[in-house]
Amino acid sequence: MNHILIIGFVWPEPNSTAAGTRMLQLIKLFLSQNWKVTFASPAANSEYMIDFDDLGISKIKIEINDPSFDHFIKQLQPNIILFDRFMIEEQFGWRVSKYCPKALKILNTEDLHSLRKTRQASFKNNKKFKIKDLLESDFTKREIASIYRCDLTLIISDFEMTLLKDTFKISEDLLCYLPFLFDTITPEIRNEWLDYEERNHFMTIGNFRHEPNWNSVLYLKQTIWPLIRQELPETELHIYGAYPTPKAIQLHNEKEGFLIKGHAKNTKEVISQARICLAPIRFGAGIKGKLVDAMLYGTPSVTTSIGIEGMFDEDTDWNGFVADDPSIFAKAAIKLYNDNNLWRQSQQNGIEIINTRFQKERFAPLLIDMINIRLSNLEKYRTQNFIGNMLQYHTLRSTEFMSRWIEEKTKTNAPKD
């Protein structure tokens, strides 16, 4: 039986973040193969994290820059390790390689953090994002190095898959395109949804700690929602999301119909009761969970070209409208809200996207096959990955020595009894 250790950047929160949804899907996939799953993280416990006991998996608290992890990994001896985000691989990868060298190392990117960070920096500097900016970023160099040090990297967006292969020339042997994994939306599921006439108002949702989400809320408040509200004065915009900050709560204004609702206990319920989902995302990466959820629950959406990335191509009709100009965005939202036939067609487009691009039965077996093939031919794949071996060689020295230095410094500064 395979034993997979997942080292998480945070404890998964599927009701708060798209990353949490992604991680829960992976955990359930591994459990469906009768694998033993252990989840470890240096993060503090969070309010909305999953119930590990309910899933039947072990939850272990670990420390960064601490030799206790060495003892832990030597005793556990999993044959697969999954690093959740490249920062976790940087912290623990060298320890895994040293004390568990025959374990298959998988990197789960969630999204390309370097792409999101570079786009965010370009936006804040009022510059148009260019690939040149991505190539020059130290953050990018760290993330690409992490991909090479691992035996397999999970990529959630086909846009990012193409970027890694064409721009960074990374071998496809090191990459696995794995979008969100969903069951087919059947006619029976469709018939359970509320119809157009039974739905009211607009909504958006997203963790307030995630900068693209917070920027989107401000953009709605300051620019887009006033334009919509002027034409639809009786409508409301309901904003959901975990961890609303005091600044976010202060945006709540009942007279304007701009309502900060906070954490949604039942995401499906709040999305499926709304008529339209608004997501004016101006920077980011990966697949946008709010837009996927909107399609899963039959709610058309209006978003941007960044919002649809990884979910849309020339042969696809969107689940609503796509607009980067705020006035066009607002007009599209008003039109979609008022037009029954257009709304129904948009909903059907969303069903097609889920059923063609995010099929669990299509993509899940491909990942399991790739893992099993690499487990049986690990030495061969590692020999072919010379750049990864080279980076691993230097990492085992530079990162290990830095970590050891931090350990000793911590001991020196520890209070004396």
Mean pLDDT of 35-59: 96
55 CA to centre of own chain: 21
DSSP state of 132: H
Q: What pLDDT score does 312 carry?
A: 83
111 closest CA partner among 87, 85, 130 = 85
DSSP string of 237-306, one letter each residue: EEEE-SS--HHHHTT-BTTTTEEEEE--S-HHHHHHT-SEEEE---S--S--HHHHHHHHTT--EEE-TT
Mean pLDDT of 325-348: 98
Residue 191 has pLDDT above 60, yes or no: yes
11 closest CA partner among 53, 34, 39 = 39
Which segments of 109-171 are extended strands (E)?
A: 152-155
In angstroms, rounded to a whole number, what is the distance separating the alpha carbons of residues 81 and 93?
Answer: 9
The HSE-up count of residue 46 (CA atoms within 13 Å, CB side) is 19
pLDDT > 70 fraction of the chain, expressed in percent and rounded: 94
Q: Are 80 and 5 in contact (CB under 8 A)?
A: yes
6 closest CA partner among 70, 75, 92 = 92
Q: Which helix (H) or strand (E) holds 365?
A: helix 360-376
* Buried residues in 218-250 as b, exposed as e (16+ CB within 10 A): ebbbeebbebbbeebeebbbbbbbbbbeeebee
Instruction: Give pLDDT tens digits for 81-106.
Output: 999 999 999 999 999 999 999 999 99
> Which two three-digit tokens encode residue 52?
């590990």
Q: How many CB atoms lie within 10 A of CB 411?
A: 8
Mean of per-residue pLDDT scores for the chain: 94
pLDDT-derived band of residue 44, with 50, 70 and 90 as boundaries? Answer: very high
pLDDT-derived band of residue 205, with 50, 70 and 90 as boundaries? Answer: very high
pTM of the model: 0.92
Q: Is 68 exposed, middle or buried (0-12, 13-18, 19+ CB in 10 A)?
A: exposed
Report the DSSP pairing between strands 301-303 and 276-279: parallel
**Cross-strand partners of 237:** 202, 258
3-state DSSP of 371-412: HHHHHHCHHHHHHHCHHHHHHHHHHHHHHHHHHHHHHHHHHH
The HSE-up count of residue 87 (CA atoms within 13 Å, CB side) is 13
Instruction: Give pLDDT tens digits for 382-392.
Output: 999 999 888 88
Q: Give the chain's domains with CATH numbers.
A: 3-181+360-413 (3.40.50.2000), 187-357 (3.40.50.2000)
Q: What pLDDT score does 412 carry?
A: 62
Instruction: Give pLDDT tens digits for 352-363.
Output: 999 999 999 999
